[in-house]
A and B are shown apart, each in its own frame.
Chain A
Amino acid sequence: MAEPASIRRAARSPLFVGACLVLGAIVLAGVFADAVAPYSPTSVGAAQMFAPPSGGHWLGTDRFGRDVLSRIVHGVRVSLGIAGASILAALVVGGVLGLLAGVGRGVDQLLGRVMDVFFAFPPILLAIAVAAVLGAGVGTAITAIAVVYGPFFFRVVRGSVLVESAQAYVEAAEALGAGRLVVLVRHILPNIVSPVVVQTAVCLSYAILIESALSYLGIGVQPPLPSWGTILNEGKEFLALAPWVSLFPGGAIVLAVLAFNIVGDGLRDALDPRTEVR
């Protein structure tokens, strides 16, 4: 586990703290979207079509006269919700399989071969393939991202288990007669939390990117549900007429992804002694 000192060092970096604050603000905005958003994300106003940003509509309106800011705020739930759910699924499935790989050489070899097949595709292409099979939708986006990043968690957990297995405390537990599964869950698992935490932060940023890319392409979240990618997709035909519909949700994506990346880098520097900042 990480020493409190290294966490404190990370907390002194203004960039890290700023990124954490931004993420906190985004999550809060999503949780309290009904209170934060000035309008309903789906209320249509024919008179307000493509209104440019103004005092009434800070970020303008789209082709149905819907308030872009309200759609972005409600989009937090969809975009971050999908990212969170998919990475949780990837973490659980990949993590459990990664632990299981520590049971024995045969299992390890078999699981490793299977995971290699998933690593054989560029992430976005694999996600597109899953979406092509399942058809567009929220469930599809979650499944697609989980399929892409499950193997990443498998690899991290498997590697950490291998390293820990050589440690003296594992030998001690085994000498005391603990079975392999007990050793894996009770003794090794608590010691590999750090790399998994780092991986989670980094994967969350990728998950937001992939969800928004799928939705932008029209094979992820479907309108009228507002995901950041969907809002962009709906704006792309009217770019010259109403650039704000495309620009602002993209800004939200960049902000969230950047924040997760900075938090991930900060956690890695704090928790992982192998990649200390030189």
Chain B
Amino acid sequence: MSAYLARRLVATALTLAGVSVLVFGMVRLVPGTVVEQLLGQAAIASPEVVASFRAYFGLDRPVHVQYAQWLAGVLRGDLGVSWLSGRPVVGLFVERLPVSAELAVLAVGWSLLLGIPLGTGAAVWRGGARDAAIRVGATLGLSLPAFWQGTVLILLFSIYLGWMPSLSWAPLAQRPLENLTMMALPALTLGTATAAMITRMSRSSMLDVLGREYVRTARAKGLPESRVTFHHALRNALIPVVTVAGVQLGYIVGGIVVVEDVFTLPGVGRLLLDAIFQRDYPVVQGVILILGALFMLLNLAVDLLYAALDPRLRRG
């Protein structure tokens, strides 16, 4: 286990280093230099203005020096300041984080609540009409684009049923009930693909376990089928499902950008998109770096959890 842990940690560190180079490099790949894009007409008018701006942003130094300085900042928790508002990127991110985090947790939560029973049911009813219906439903769930599902839900609830959540943002701590009514549809939208994924995974994992020797032994002992299903099979079948849920939480990190746009929620995704449209590159860079790192750490945590849950890996 400790050798495995060490290998995983080293690999994660190497990948994080690669991620930092990629994120650092991305702004330098912008066609036409960033400064000229920012200055627009002024850049054509006066080369001196461009030069002074380049010096101000440190762009006149060699690339490796720029990278070293940037990385040193990142490691100290300093991701630079927004070109637009002059505020630190980390502060902007932290300010928006609660909305996105709440959305992600709600989405994963409901997708587990729906996906595990559905997948288990499909496995128990294997080959029947109910199994087929659940499988088709899961494929449909994977094929729904979040932005369109969100649009349909808004249309249905807000416009046709007149169920209008307030337009001004209600923070969870201050107006919890209002907040949850605002979050219900976004979370439903964000979690649909995940629920479909978890349904599929629960089904195949459950089928796998139901064919094992120890399940046959349990049945041979004369235990009732419900006890075999829930006590012996489900507990073991859930191990891979947990890891899928963890990985899906990572994918939800990406889906947040789309869902926050559809429902105009003031989260991290909104921050990223606004920064892209306004060419506020430090914010773009910072948000992508943090979300990428978050995604990686989630994957690492899932791998370790899997190793801890599965005794075969624990001994190795």
Chain A interface residues (CB < 8 Å from chain B) = 15, 113-114, 116-117, 120-125, 128-129, 131-135, 205, 209, 212-213, 216-219, 229, 232, 236, 239-240, 243, 246-247, 250, 253-254, 257-258, 261-262, 265, 278
CB of B204 to closest CB in A, whole Å = 8
Interfacial residues, chain B to chain A (CB-CB below 8 A) = 11, 14-16, 18-19, 21-23, 26-27, 29-31, 126, 136, 139-140, 142-148, 151-152, 154-155, 159, 207, 211, 250-251, 253-255, 257-258, 261-262, 272-273, 276-277, 284, 288, 291-292, 295-296
Which residue of B18, B26, B142 contacts A116 across the interface (Cβ within 8 Å)? Answer: B18
State in angstroms the CA–CA spacing of A122 and B27 once bound together. Answer: 19
Which residues of B lie under 8 Å from residue A120 when comparing CB positions? 15-16, 18-19, 292, 295-296
Given contacts A120-B292, A135-B31, 8 further A-B contacts (CB under 8 A): A117-B18, A117-B22, A124-B257, A125-B254, A132-B26, A205-B143, A229-B147, A254-B148
- A253 x B139 contact (CB < 8 A): no
Are B159 and A218 interface neighbours, CB within 8 A?
Answer: no
Contacts of B277 in A (CB 8 A): 218
Q: How many A-B residue pairs have CB under 8 A?
A: 136
Chain B residue with Cβ nearest A252: B148
**Residues of chain A with a CB closer than 8 A to B262's CB:** 236
Task: Report yes or no: B15 in contact with A128, Cβ–Cβ below 8 A.
Answer: no
Known: A122-B251, A261-B139. A212 touches B145 (CB 8 A): yes
Instruction: Provide the main secondary structure of the chain B interface.
Output: helix
List the 3 closest pairs (A to B, CB-CB), nearest first: A122-B254, A250-B148, A117-B18
A79 CB → nearest B CB, Å: 11
Partner of A128, one of B14, B16, B257: B257
Chain B residues with Cβ under 8 A from A133's Cβ? 26-27, 29-30
Complex Cα distance A20/B87, Å? 53
Chain A hits for B147, CB < 8 A = 212-213, 216-217, 229, 232, 250
CA distance A254 to B143 in the complex (A): 6
Judge whether B18 and A253 touch: CB under 8 Å: no
Q: Are B145 and A125 in contact (CB under 8 A)?
A: no
Given the known inter-chain contacts A113-B15, A122-B251, A218-B277, please indicate yes or no for A250 contacting B292, CB distance below 8 A.
Answer: no
Q: Contact at B292–A253, with CB atoms within 8 Å? A: no
Closest A residue to B37 using CB positions: A135
